[in-house]
Amino acid sequence: MFIIQDLANFYIKVNRYLLRKAIRALNSLLKLSEKRNFEITIGAPSLKSQKDIVESASKYDMFTASSENYYADQYWQLIEDVLPLNQQKVKIVDLGSGQGRMVQKFLDNFPTAEIRCCDISKKAISDLQRNITLSPGQQVKAEISEYKSFVARQASSSVDIVLFTEVSFYSPGWEKCLLDIYRILKPGGIFVSSHRSRYFNAMLLLSLGHIQAAEQILKHNSGRLFGTTDLHFSWNDSPATREILLAAGFSVTRVAGIGVLSGIKGDPHELLAEPGTLSEDELNALMGLEKQLGETVPDSGRYILFLAKKD
């Protein structure tokens, strides 16, 4: 009697499991068909629409999203060996700081950090102010500002480290600001930036079934990627980005892909590994793989990290 009851319960559980799997698969299919409805167009965006859209995109809080915290750790582990960790009064500027995940990394590691940061999004700056934890002796000044005008207002040779992570993707023409970023760094100062690759965008569009648009990715370095918005994006290949940094006077000390084997929801690598769903041991194993292979295949990352120096 008990065996029959157990078998019946087992049968019900299996059926529920299969039903849940079928519903999930159906939902993904529906989402995929929604995503197929996009296109690329090329042309200069109006600043107003770009600002409005960036503002609404910043509703996703990268400070609290667990996968994003994993990627913040990956940035940190790839840059910490060149940072002046023992220096007193390190001056750091974070351009397009978002909700402050990188600001917090630097606060955790520089007991007397002075950080100035900006973001075009009012919401991102107010989230940052709520998110970060300051110790006595640390200072953070956060401004709602476009990064180019923010850099123009900083004194020459006044900054030890400039951060510019995952911002250029949303800002075609970012290259024009490089000379000014170089100007505000002290000699020996470090520029940490990350950029979207052509290869990643091609994978993204192909994974969404948009082969025509993926071809456009080859011909251009910027454009409108998702037909539902007016937001313009920029991308490039790592050798070309390295040349752009060299032309601005920097020496480039490291180029590495971030997330070459993993992704957040919607990324082409999502099915390989999604950090937010992994245990601590799995995250450590993934970090080891990604740190080693990131330098071998930088362009396959979600972003490509460049570590550059003002000599």
Ligand X SMILES: C[S@@+](CC[C@H](N)C(=O)[O-])C[C@H]1O[C@@H](n2cnc3c(N)ncnc32)[C@H](O)[C@@H]1O
Does 274 help bind ligand X (rule: CB under 6 A)? no
Pairing between β-strand 303-309 and β-strand 185-195 as defined by DSSP bridges = antiparallel
> x/- binding map, residues 43-72, to ligand X, per CB under 6 A?
-----------x---x---x----------
Residues near 136 by Cβ (< 8 Å), separated by ≥ 6?
none
Does 214 help bind ligand X (rule: CB under 6 A)? no
* Closest residue by Cα to residue 159 from 138, 185, 187, 192: 185
Binding span for ligand X by CB under 6 A among 25-33, 90-98, 105-113, 272-280: 90-98
Does 273 help bind ligand X (rule: CB under 6 A)? no
Q: Report the nearest approach of ligand X to the CB of residue 47 (Å).
A: 8
Q: Are 294 and 84 in contact (CB under 8 A)?
A: no
* Closest residue by Cα to residue 127 from 103, 108, 146, 153: 103
Residue with smallest beta-carbon separation from ligand X: 98
Q: Report the nearest approach of ligand X to the CB of residue 101 (Å).
A: 4
Helix (H, G, I), strand (E, B) or coil at 43: coil
> x/- binding map, residues 95-134, to ligand X, per CB under 6 A?
-xxx--xx---------------xxxx--x----------
Residues near 212 by Cβ (< 8 Å), separated by ≥ 6?
none
CB-nearer residue toward ligand X: 165 or 236: 165
Q: Report the nearest approach of ligand X to the CB of residue 285 (Å).
A: 24
Cα–Cα distance for residue pair 288/290, rounded to 1 Å: 6
CB-nearer residue toward ligand X: 20 or 59: 59
* Closest residue by Cα to residue 98 from 138, 73, 64: 64
Q: Are 260 and 290 in contact (CB under 8 A)?
A: yes
Does 234 help bind ligand X (rule: CB under 6 A)? no
What are 290's two structure tokens?
A: 């990604």
Site residues (vs ligand X, CB under 6 A): 54, 58, 62, 96-98, 101-102, 118-121, 124, 146-147, 165-167, 170-171
